[in-house]
Amino acid sequence: MSALSGDTRLPRYQRLAEALRQEVVERRWKPGDRLPSENDIAALYGVATGTARQALVQLVKEGLLKREHGRGTFVRRPNFDQSLFRFFRFWAKDGVRSVPESRILRRVMAAPPGHVARSLRIEDGGGAINMSRLRLIDGEPVVAEEIWLPLDLMEKFLDVAEADIGPLLYPVYDEVCGQTVARAEESLTVESSAPETARLLRLEAGAPIIVIDRLARGYDDTPLEWRRSRGAADRFHYHTEIR
Amino acid sequence: MSALSGDTRLPRYQRLAEALRQEVVERRWKPGDRLPSENDIAALYGVATGTARQALVQLVKEGLLKREHGRGTFVRRPNFDQSLFRFFRFWAKDGVRSVPESRILRRVMAAPPGHVARSLRIEDGGGAINMSRLRLIDGEPVVAEEIWLPLDLMEKFLDVAEADIGPLLYPVYDEVCGQTVARAEESLTVESSAPETARLLRLEAGAPIIVIDRLARGYDDTPLEWRRSRGAADRFHYHTEIR
DNA sequence: AAGTGGTCTAGACCACATA
DNA sequence: ATGTGGTCTAGACCACTTG
């Protein structure tokens, strides 16, 4: 039986949640792994099953775990259905969400601009990988992306053959660099398209463009990727419920 | 002791939640009212306190109730901090969110366009109130609004003196028409400004514009207001977290 | 001091998934 | 049949707010 660590003034279920969170952060439990059952966790940490349950439910709410009745509790594989991209109309074709084809236009080592360096916590003089990518559906360009990676964590990504890079980058980061993207922050703004972007996306210059900036982080909050994506605004439609 | 109604195959806490929800929908409990304590509710409906608690927690999660340690459980007053408007930069001035001044340009009875009539569930030939409103900060126009109300529920709104209509409409709907706005759906798109909108907002024609459509509903889901708002896109900035 | 919600226990029984 | 999570009980004690 492990002891619960941390501030003893905190509720047990919160201290237990923190202990379980650490198991994931420190990669002892990986995405897809099954956790011990409620009763086992309760016994292991010396709390009642109801208390263990409360901790598990909280971690589900946070998006770290997933529970399946009769099967068990699992470390959730982050997926990015919540990404603002899902609100581009072309993304969902015939009701089914499709991953667009992707074409890498550039992949080089480079010095990141100041705001990217700050976001990725790159020290002065620290290096980065810069990538330019175009995403297409039925051969038609729909999103242009500019991507920056911190060189120290992602260096091996430079060695990957282009043929081995599919339309999804995060599984590659995971397999090649051992870095799991656990969450991200996104922000959305609108601009009038610059000539170069307009050419890439085959729009007239000045057409409204949605700009989505994303900072992806690991389980321990380490910044792993900075990405700026641009798409035609007339194909964007966001819907939400408020109370 | 009341009996729990509804499908007996459903869990008790869900049937209890539904019963409590009805108390709010049917206006026996109004926003701001305090509910009986956990123990009283448990005794009233013949369940264990833990079960009553589970129902209450669910209703808090849904946004219907609010609990305060040591004080009690209350019917929440809906507020619209989650509105997409909050992502217009001018909305928050010096960190404090301000309600902009508002100027009503038009308020008349009119036949609603088809999509508005459908949203507001107005029958063929049913009437509506149409309003045009401009919202300003420091005398500068920032958002132009087009508003439609169903005549049968909101007729009395036509009689209110313009001086008695402040910058917030929902309290007026509540006091004058007895209709409480409990929630809303919003959707966001982008367009190039038409000449008339550009003139109202003092922009050059064709400048990118954020369009937010909102459908506001009562506790029983009755549509109460349809609203389309337009603001300059260069002042819009949306931020979100994804997992 | 009394009343409220928040935490916690030590179980029982049920519904679901899997071998 | 076994093991999992989901529901439920009947309390106890604690932390917070208010009269």
pLDDT tens string A153-174 = 999 999 999 999 999 999 999 9
Identify whether B3 is part of a domain: no
**Which amino acid, residue B230?**
R
Of B58, B75, B92, which closes a domain? Answer: B75
Please give the Cα distance from B50 to B226 (Å, whole number).
Answer: 41
Protein-to-nucleotide distance from the CA of A37 to the C1' of C6, whole angstroms: 25
Helix, strand, coil percent values for chain B (each to nearest 5): 35, 35, 35
Asked if residue A126 and residue A187 are part of one domain, the reply reads: yes
Protein-to-nucleotide distance from the CA of A99 to the C1' of D4, whole angstroms: 34
Chain-chain contact of B63 with A243 (C-beta, under 8 angstroms)? yes
Chain-chain contact of B78 with A240 (C-beta, under 8 angstroms)? no
Residue spans of chain A under pLDDT 70: 1-2, 93-95
Q: Is B65 on the interface with A (CB under 8 A)?
A: no
Query: What CATH number is given to the structural domain containing A141?
Result: 3.40.1410.10
Say what the pLDDT of residue B9 is: 85
DSSP state of A236: B
Asked if residue A94 and residue A19 are part of one domain, the reply reads: no
At A155, list the tokens. Answer: 């260096």
Query: Which chain B residue has its CA at the smallest distance from A60's CA?
Result: B243
Query: What CATH number is given to the structural domain containing A66?
Result: 1.10.10.10
Asked if residue B88 and residue B68 are part of one domain, the reply reads: no
Asked if residue B181 and residue B71 are part of one domain, the reply reads: no
Q: Coil, strand or helix: which one is A88?
A: strand
Q: Which residues fall within 8 angstroms of residue A131, CB to CB, at 6 or more apart?
A: A104, A106, A107, A108, A145, A146, A147, A148, A149
Asked if residue A98 and residue A207 are part of one domain, the reply reads: yes
| Alpha carbon of B227: minimum distance to chain A alpha carbons (Å) | 14
Of B75, B96, B126, which closes a domain? Answer: B75
Structural domain count, chain B: 2
Choose the mutation target among B59, B191, B243 for the interface with A, i.e. most A CBs under 10 Å: B243
Q: Concatenated DSSP letters for A109-137? A: EEPPPHHHHHHTTPPTT--EEEEEEEEEE
Identify whether B1 is part of a domain: no
pLDDT tens string A53-99 = 999 999 999 999 999 999 999 999 988 877 898 888 887 766 677 77
Say what the pLDDT of residue B80 is: 82
| Number of neighbours of residue A32 by Cβ within 10 angstroms | 10
Asked if residue A38 and residue A132 are part of one domain, the reply reads: no
Q: Is A186 on the interface with B (CB under 8 A)?
A: yes
End-to-end alpha-carbon separation of chain B, Å? 44
- Torsion B8-B10-B15-B21 (CA) sign: negative
Residue spans of chain B under pLDDT 50: none
Asked if residue B222 and residue B141 are part of one domain, the reply reads: yes
pLDDT tens string B84-120 = 988 888 877 666 777 789 999 999 999 999 999 999 9
Asked if residue A59 and residue A123 are part of one domain, the reply reads: no
Identify whether A3 is part of a domain: no
Closest CA to B241 of A82, A207, A162: A82
Domain residues for B229? Answer: 84-235
- Chain-centroid distance of CA B144 in Å reads 18
DSSP H helical segments within A63-219, as ranges? 114-119, 151-154, 170-177, 195-201
Q: Which residue is nearest to nucleotide C8 (CA to C1')?
A: A51
Say what the pLDDT of residue A94 is: 66
Please give the Cα distance from B62 to A58 (Å, whole number).
Answer: 16
Identify whether B242 is part of a domain: no
Largest CA distance in chain A: 66
- Torsion A147-A148-A154-A156 (CA) sign: positive
Asked if residue B52 and residue B113 are part of one domain, the reply reads: no
Say what the pLDDT of residue A99 is: 79
Asked if residue A204 and residue A166 are part of one domain, the reply reads: yes
Q: Which residues of A touch B206 (CB under 8 A)?
A: 206
Of A28, A53, A75, which closes a domain? Answer: A75
Asked if residue A40 and residue A132 are part of one domain, the reply reads: no
Identify whether A242 is part of a domain: no
The CA-based angle A26-A65-A2, given to 5 degrees, is 55
